[in-house]
Amino acid sequence: MTDVSGALKNPGSSFAFSEALEFEPCEIMGDVLRFEDAALSGLLFGAEETVSIDAELNVTVRAHCARCLEEVACPMRVQVKADFSRAPGEDEYPIAGHLIDAGKAAFDELLTQLPMRFLCKEDCLGLCPVCGSNRNKSLCTCLEGAVRPNPFSALNVLLHDQNNKEV
C-alpha cells in the first residue's frame, strides 16, 4: 500500500514514490506464472479527492516455453498509469483513508502486457512429437525420412485414384 497523504494535501504537486511488490502466482492459459523482483516507481499527482500515478513496473516473469516446456525468465518493463479516487468510478481504483493499492493497478496493467506465449528463444525447436526429447538439447532421428502420421492421409488416395473423375 502506498501512502498518498502528501498528494491529497497538496493538489497540483507531484511526489516520487517507489515500492517493492509481491504478486501471487497465477494460472494463465494453462501455465502457472510466477513473478519475481517486482518493483514499481514513478510519480503521484494529487488533485483534490483523486490521485493519479505515472509509474514503471519492472518484474521478472517465470513461465514455461510453449514449445519445449523449459522454464523461461522473462524480464518485463510495463508503464502504469492509473487514477485513484475516494469515490471511484468505473476506471478508477479506490483510496482507502490515505492509502492506495498501486500494486493492484500495476498487476492489472502487467496482465494486459504479457505475451501470448513464452519462448525460451525465438528459434526453439520444441519437443519431438515421437520420443518427446527436447530437440534444443539433443538431436533425435525419429522423423528423419519418415512420413508423419496424418489423420487425413486416407484422403490422399482420392487424389491419386485415376478412376475417380470428380476430384
Q: Name the domain count of the chain.
A: 2
Beta strands 71-85 and 93-96: pairing type? parallel
- 44 exposed, middle or buried (CB, 10 Å; 0-12, 13-18, 19+)? buried
Shared-domain flag, residues 35 and 102: yes
pLDDT at 143: 67
Quick one: average pLDDT of 122-137? 89
Q: Does pLDDT of 163 surpass 70?
A: no
Shared-domain flag, residues 135 and 100: no
pLDDT at 162: 61
pLDDT at 147: 61
Q: Does pLDDT of 59 surpass 80?
A: yes
Find which of 2-6, 80-84, 144-148, 160-164 is predicted with most confidence, using mean pLDDT.
80-84
Give the residue, 163 or 79, on which the prediction is more confident: 79
* Angstrom distance (rounded) from CA 115 to CA 57: 16
* Angstrom distance (rounded) from CA 25 to CA 74: 15
Q: Which amino acid is at 92?
A: E
Shared-domain flag, residues 71 and 31: yes
Residue 101 belongs to a domain: yes
Question: Are the C-beta atoms of residues 89 and 138 closer than 8 Å to each other?
Answer: no
* Angstrom distance (rounded) from CA 127 to CA 140: 10
CA geometry: angle at 41 spanning 40 and 44, to 5°? 115
* Angstrom distance (rounded) from CA 88 to CA 82: 12
- Which of 16-20, 28-32, 61-65 has the least mean pLDDT? 28-32
Quick one: average pLDDT of 79-98? 90
Shared-domain flag, residues 159 and 135: yes
Shared-domain flag, residues 106 and 69: yes
Q: Which of 69, 86, 113 is the last residue of a domain?
A: 113
Q: Does pLDDT of 114 surpass 70?
A: yes
Range of the domain at 85: 2-113
Shared-domain flag, residues 144 and 85: no
Shared-domain flag, residues 139 and 108: no
Q: Does pLDDT of 165 surpass 80?
A: no
